[in-house]
Structure 1
């Protein structure tokens, strides 16, 4: 198939909300696969920016560190809005994804990452959200990490759970892990666990 030239035009962007997150209304048009241009499209765009997630793993004892916290997005579609997740945070100005991985691991789970392994970069919900996630596996010593973590100034109330790899995969299969990023992280770990245990 002949390569199709792709282009888009941002016609207008109007900020409509700025708070914990920001939202804008945009008007745009883009080229079509069948040729020509689309009609102008009106969309709302949720701005999130760059974020980082880390699945902390201790290969010496085959344990995973998962965190549990309240998530407002799950409150309206889930009976239990306390979700099992992995460490994550937003990239602030002047930070690298690696900086964020180390910072968030300390803040949310009390982890000191010994080695950081890049897994992937991806858009979780590109249909309406401007967010790109960098996902890492962080090699840690999981001893003594269970407990409550988070920053008071950010009103974080985060429970760190240290579980066996088998337990984490059982929770995944049971549907107890419902957020996309930890699902991706655990599936990657399942594929790469043997290699990590032999490092």
Structure 2
């Protein structure tokens, strides 16, 4: 037991959707007091840093309803039930970009918002990219535009707030700091 552990007394499911569920937990704090915690449960996700042979980064632009605006992002998506993260990363790369990779490397995993959600994102680096004619098709409710950009162009997209999500900013920083482009 950790000295800051909060013991769950009761869990009340509030909502169960296609992607997330929401619950409210009654917890016992380390000092003996009780409080409530609102928690979002998420199946986990992957994102892919896809680098072309000419050192460009493959990005996708798509509309994000929660923000009421489009964002430019690294290819990404949620894990399907029972799916291994690397398999998911390969699937998402192909669905969103029409590309396959000969070399997929796990880079890092991180929690996106641990104050209220358990979403864990697994980051992969894809090299030896090839376009495929018979690639997987995107989800029926997903509309994306493909982009290939240099690291300088990606950083300009960040300054313009077109790249404005943490996973993509993290991915670009990884690329820059590790001299991959």
* 1:62 to 2:55 alignment: yes
The higher radius of gyration belongs to 1
Contact 2:101 2:130 in 1 (8 A): no
Q: What is the CA deviation profile of residues 39-83 of structure 1, one whole-angstrom value per residue up to 9, with x for unaligned ones?
A: 21212211113211111112x3111100111112212xxxxx111
Runs of 4+ residues over 6 Å off in structure 1: 142-145
> Residue 155 of structure 2 corresponds to which residue in structure 1?
169
Distance 1:38 1:163 in 2: 53
> Residue 190 of structure 1 corresponds to which residue in structure 2?
176
Between the two proteins, the alignment pairs up a number of residues equal to: 176
Instruction: Tell me the C-alpha RMSD between the 2 structures.
Output: 2.1
> Residue 42 of structure 1 corresponds to which residue in structure 2?
36
Q: Residues 122 and 64 (structure 1 numbering): CA distance in 2 closer, same or farther, change over 3 Å? A: same
TM-score normalised according to structure 2 size: 0.87
User: 1:144 Cα shift?
Assistant: 8.8
Secondary structure of the corresponding residue to residue 112 of structure 1: strand
Q: What is the CA deviation profile of residues 147-174 of structure 1, one whole-angstrom value per residue up to 9, with x for unaligned ones?
A: xx6222xx11111111222211222234
Distance 2:108 2:93 in 1: 18
Contact 1:142 1:162 in 2 (8 A): no
Secondary structure of the corresponding residue to residue 118 of structure 2: strand
* 1:71 to 2:64 alignment: yes
- Which structure dedicates a bigger proportion of its chain to helix? 1
Secondary structure of the corresponding residue to residue 119 of structure 2: strand
Contact 2:47 2:75 in 1 (8 A): yes
Question: Which range moved further: 117-126 or 166-175?
Answer: 166-175
Contact 1:57 1:142 in 2 (8 A): no
Distance 1:142 1:161 in 2: 15
Distance 1:140 1:103 in 2: 16
User: 1:109 Cα shift?
Assistant: 1.0
Distance 1:183 1:119 in 2: 14
TM-score normalised according to structure 1 size: 0.80
Give the one of 77, 86, 98 matched to 2:86.
98
Matched ranges for 1:139-150 at <5 A: 139-141=127-129, 150=138
Q: Which runs of 5+ in 2 are unaligned?
A: none
Distance 1:38 1:64 in 2: 51
